[in-house]
Amino acid sequence: MNAPDRAGLGNAFEAAATGTLSGAPIERVEDERFLTGAGRFTDDVRFEGMGHAAILRSTHAHARIRRIDCTAARALPGVMLVATAADIAQANKPIPIRLAPLPGLDRFLQPTIAADEVRYVGEPVAIVVASSRYVAEDALDLIEVDYDEGPAVASITQSASNATLVHAAVGTNVATQYPVERGDVDRAFAGAPYTRRERFRCHRHTGAPMETRGLVAEWNGSLMRVWGATKVPFFNRGLLASFFDLPETAVDMIETDIGGGFGIRGEFYPEDFLVPWASMQLGRPVKWIEDRREHLMAANHARETECELEIAMNLDGTIRGLRGRVMADLGAYVRTGGGVAVSRLAQYLPGPYRISDFGCEVMALVTNKTPVGTMRGPGRYEANYFRERLLDLACGDLGLDPVAVREMNLIARHEMPWPIGRLVPTEGEGAYDVGDFHSGLHKALSAIGYDRLPRDGALIDGWLHGVGVACFVESSGGGKSENARIVARTDGSFDIYSGVSTMGQGHETVFAQIAGDELGAPISAFRVHHGSTAHVDYGWGTFHSRAIVVGGSAVKLAAAQMREQLDALAAAGHRGPPAEDIEVKLRYDTKGPTYSYGTHVAHVAVDPETARVKVLAYVALEDVGRVMNPLLAHGQAVGGAVQGIGATFLDELRYDENAQLLSGSYADYLMATSTEAPAVQAVLLEESPSPSNPLGAKGAGEGGIVATAGALANAVGNALAAWRLPLTSLPLSLDNLARALREARSAAAVPGQDH
Partner 1 sequence: MAAMAFMHYLPNGKVCTIPVMKPAPLDILPATSVAHALSLLGEHGDQARLIAGGQSLMPILAMRLAAPAILIDINGIADLRGIRLEADGSVLIGALTRHRDLERSPLLAERLPLIAAAMPWIAHVQIRNRGTLGGSLSHADPAAELPALCIALCATIELHSPRGVRQIAADDFFQGVFATARADDELLTAVRVPATTPAQRWAFIELARRHGDFALCGIALTADCSPTGAVTQARIVVFGVSDCPRRLPHLESAIVGSAPSPASIDQAMQSLDTVEARSDHHASSEYRLELLATLARRALRQAFGFDERTAP
The reply to whether 332 sits near partner 1 by the rule CB under 8 A is no
- Among the listed ranges 285-293, 378-386, 620-628, 695-703, the one in contact with partner 1 (CB under 8 A) is 285-293
> What's the CA gap between 393 and 478, in Å, rounded?
34
Out of 30, 123, 138, 357, point to the residue binding partner 1 (CB under 8 A): 138
The reply to whether 698 sits near partner 1 by the rule CB under 8 A is no
Residues between 391 and 450 with contacts to partner 1, criterion CB under 8 A: none
Rounded least distance, CB 677 to partner 1, Å: 11
- Among the listed ranges 133-141, 274-282, 416-424, 446-454, the one in contact with partner 1 (CB under 8 A) is 133-141
The reply to whether 56 sits near partner 1 by the rule CB under 8 A is yes
Residues between 701 and 740 with contacts to partner 1, criterion CB under 8 A: 733-735, 738-739
Rounded least distance, CB 135 to partner 1, Å: 9
How many residues are listed for the chain in this entry?
A: 755
Residues 79 and 70: beta-carbon distance below 8 Å: no
- Among the listed ranges 7-15, 213-221, 276-284, 661-669, the one in contact with partner 1 (CB under 8 A) is 661-669
> What's the CA gap between 670 and 529, in Å, rounded?
35
The reply to whether 684 sits near partner 1 by the rule CB under 8 A is no
- Among the listed ranges 134-142, 227-235, 570-578, 715-723, the one in contact with partner 1 (CB under 8 A) is 134-142
Nearest alpha carbon to residue 505 among 678, 637, 645, 359: 637
Rounded least distance, CB 78 to partner 1, Å: 11
Rounded least distance, CB 136 to partner 1, Å: 8
Enumerate long-range contacts of 291-296, CB under 8 Å, 24 or more apart. Answer: 291/212, 292/212, 292/665, 292/666, 293/664, 293/665, 294/55, 294/57, 294/122, 294/212, 295/208, 295/212, 295/213, 296/206, 296/208, 296/653, 296/661, 296/663, 296/664, 296/665, 296/669
Residues between 586 and 615 with contacts to partner 1, criterion CB under 8 A: 607, 609-612
Q: Strand 494-498's sheet: what is its strand order?
A: 526-530, 494-498, 481-488, 582-589
Enumerate long-range contacts of 487-491, CB under 8 Å, 24 or more apart. Answer: 487/581, 487/582, 487/583, 487/584, 488/8, 488/562, 488/565, 488/566, 488/577, 488/578, 488/581, 488/582, 488/583, 489/577, 489/578, 489/581, 490/577, 490/578, 490/579, 490/580, 490/581, 491/10, 491/577
Rg (CA), the chain: 27
Beta-carbon contacts of residue 590 (< 8 Å; ≥ 6 apart): 477, 480, 481, 549, 550, 553, 692, 693
Out of 545, 663, 690, 693, point to the residue binding partner 1 (CB under 8 A): 663
Out of 28, 57, 265, 443, point to the residue binding partner 1 (CB under 8 A): 57
Compare residues 294 and 310 and give the one whose CB is closer to partner 1: 294
> What's the CA gap between 725 and 335, in Å, rounded?
36
The reply to whether 177 sits near partner 1 by the rule CB under 8 A is no
Rounded least distance, CB 675 to partner 1, Å: 4
The reply to whether 292 sits near partner 1 by the rule CB under 8 A is yes
Beta-carbon contacts of residue 77 (< 8 Å; ≥ 6 apart): 135
Out of 113, 240, 297, 621, point to the residue binding partner 1 (CB under 8 A): 297
Residues 619 and 640: beta-carbon distance below 8 Å: no
- Among the listed ranges 176-184, 546-554, 650-658, 713-721, the one in contact with partner 1 (CB under 8 A) is 650-658
Size of the site for partner 1 (CB under 8 A): 47
Counts for the chain of helices (H) and strands (E), in that order = 19, 26
Out of 33, 107, 654, 724, point to the residue binding partner 1 (CB under 8 A): 654
The reply to whether 527 sits near partner 1 by the rule CB under 8 A is no
Rounded least distance, CB 655 to partner 1, Å: 10
Out of 16, 105, 121, 340, point to the residue binding partner 1 (CB under 8 A): 121
The reply to whether 54 sits near partner 1 by the rule CB under 8 A is yes
Residues that bind partner 1 (CB under 8 A): 54, 56-57, 59, 121-122, 133-134, 137-138, 140-141, 291-294, 297, 461-462, 607, 609-612, 650, 654, 656, 658, 660-665, 667-668, 670, 672-673, 675-676, 733-735, 738-739, 742
